[in-house]
Structure 1
Amino acid sequence: TCHGPIINALIENEKMESPLALRWTALEPVNTLKTVLDMNRASSCATFREALRGWLYPTQNFVSADRQGNIAYSFPGHIPMRARGDGSVPAPGWTGEYEWLGYIPYEELPHMFNPAPGYIASANNRVVDDGYPHWVSPDFCASSRAGRIVELIEARGVLGVEDVRRMHIDQVSILAREMMGALADVRTDDPELVPIFDLFHGWDGHISATDPRAAIYEVFVQRLIAILTTPKLGELAIRYAGKGPTPVLSEGSMFAEHSREWLLGTLADLRSPWWDTGDGRSRAELICQAMRETVEILQKSCGPYMENWHWGKIHTLTFGHPLGGVKPLDRIFLRGPFPIGGDGDTIWAASGTRYDLSQVEIVGPPFRFIADLGNWNNSLGMLVPGQSGHPASPHYDDNIEGWFKGEYHPMLFDREKVKENVTDTLILEP
């Protein structure tokens, strides 16, 4: 159609009388390869930003720095300007009222050049405030990761390569710290719950794989969201918790991000209508119910003793492979499971299936990179599970241990340095 392909068949168990078309910028012609070439030829932040003019899809966060001491941020891409609506829900395509009027001009897209703080923190968070004149998107990640980056930068002032390395493996969640801090006023006579609430007095929000507090926090948040939303949303409550609409995009819902920030705001609002679940229970009673369910879940999955309630026992990472989904090929191609800390709100991102913690699907960055513009050969990188995609290669999985420890390999840029350290050469012939 003029609005894109019909996608009704992708949405299971939904009866739709009208055809549903998807208007998507990715379906329009682009010349991304030329843009990438121009980016690599850029010699300054200014020329890099000019190269990004050709980046039309997908919208991305780009940061740059040059040897003149400049730093910059750009958010390029085709973002529609609509006659009505914001594109977050279906709209009638036969009236002309919701047509795209064009795209936000490149000069008006979010960007920064040498901002006043002297640094740029970007972690898929919202990049504009309410004063921005255009609608961008509702689908930004929570601000916790970017906020933690700012915390660490402000604490150090001047950063070196080692500071960035520690930042990459940081597993402190500001959202977790504030969420559990909001429970300080909860009072209960339940002897089983009192010591659990006491655990979080002064907690810094470290989502460690071996800390019972991390496991308690993660399960508690999942249970409290369900308790508060189910009476009003019914079967849709699990959608608000993050379950996607199709098997193909089972983890494709950004509500998993929004629901946690919503819960933090609800905890702070003692008069929120969400505390009225229709059965007369108070805010404190609902919080205690969520904590009791948390205890039951952790006792079943980790045993009766709290010291064994490790987050890493229910939050594990398996390095997958397209051929590893069936037995016995999984033994050849897969590596893991490994216990892992963090979550979707920590700098070391390890986001799982938030609406159902029994499902283990971890999403995070396999590649870490630290660029030293003062000495390119001092740059570092690490790719997990390994550099090779061949399971018989010694480099298929040899980076796993180092990645978990926060170790790196040199990222050599000088041609002579590269030649000195070559171990194998791949020759591609037409």
Structure 2
Amino acid sequence: MQPSAPPHLESTETIFSSSITKLVVFICWLAILADGYDLGIYGAVLPKLLEDKSWALSPAHAGTIASYALFGMFIGAILVGTITDLIGRKWTLICCLALFSITMGLAAIAPSPELFGLSRFIGGIGLGGVIPTASALTVEYSPKKRQSFIYALMFTGYPLGIVLGAILSMFMLEDFGWRIMFGIGMIPLLLIPFIIRYLPESIQFLLSRNRQEEVNKILNRFQIEFHVKDEIPETPSNIQKKNGFLTLFSKDYIKATLLFLLTYIMGMFLIYGLNTWLPQMMRQAGYPLGSSLSFLLILNITAAIGALFAGAIADRIGAKIVISISYLMAAICIGLLTIKPSVTIIYLLIGLAGIGSVGIIMTMQYDLAWNFYLFSFAGLIAAISVFCIPTK
């Protein structure tokens, strides 16, 4: 569960200096970049992995292994709230980053598909904790008027991490094999000393633990101001502190909960499904490995760029309209791929699909109650669904 904040915390309006917002967003962006590389590299190397005669994986077996990371993410997203309660958001982010980076190294040297899958599962636990924790820190340290854009800016790290994996694969996969691509995933371990030194802890967490001295240090160091408000708005986060998790399924919130859940599930299907299988699907359609990886590249570059525009628009007109249009655009463009258009049109459709599929989650301003619980539910249902897809 989320750490409970003292009553006076919700009655304050926080004014941040640009320095603290930039610092937190940059660190969270790096964490999300590593997260995106970790989760996306499997799709980039999948064609080569299927060609590895020593393992002799079938597409069905490869799909099962792909779902292991999602199962791990489900567990991680559930555990992250409890861990955050105990050690705070800063150290939760650090632990999750360390966990999935170490397991990337283990996956690189795995002698069998079973141990490889186990490494992906354990790494998924760390992956499942990074996104909600980085999201919560980014939102907490962002001015309210710019939250959608700043959140979208931070989340560009996710598709750019996949882009990084695709670029490296284009230049290294043929010559060095798939194992080196997972070994590169250990590099984020070098970021941990930097994060320990510079990332501030969540003020909400510190106040909930009555660690006022540490709060004052952060306030003074980064010139943060608190202004007391007369009224406390009733939000799912505030309600949650009274009655906990079951409140999300109460009469007042059940509709919103189900709609949020459905949105998350569809978003995860689009994101994870496309990034896992697009290179292999295009390879089966007759494109060489380099071209197949370039499709993955376009998908995520356009997602990152489109998310910034979507975030800026969402700050002006609200996230719901932006998300709905993004979903619709992704659905139409992916559907048009079935008519086998020219290569130029394929690039265009994949680019627009990237904006629609990845951009939807980037434009959401996560309320922290939704953030932990619904992300975990989405991970579970998406993982089970991927696992159960029939194969020939």
Give the TM-score band, short-chain normalised. under 0.3
Q: Which has the higher helix share?
A: 2
Larger Rg: 1
Which structure is richer in relative contact order (CA contacts within 8 A, separation 6 or more)? 2
More strand by share: 1
Tell me the TM-score normalized by structure 1.
0.25
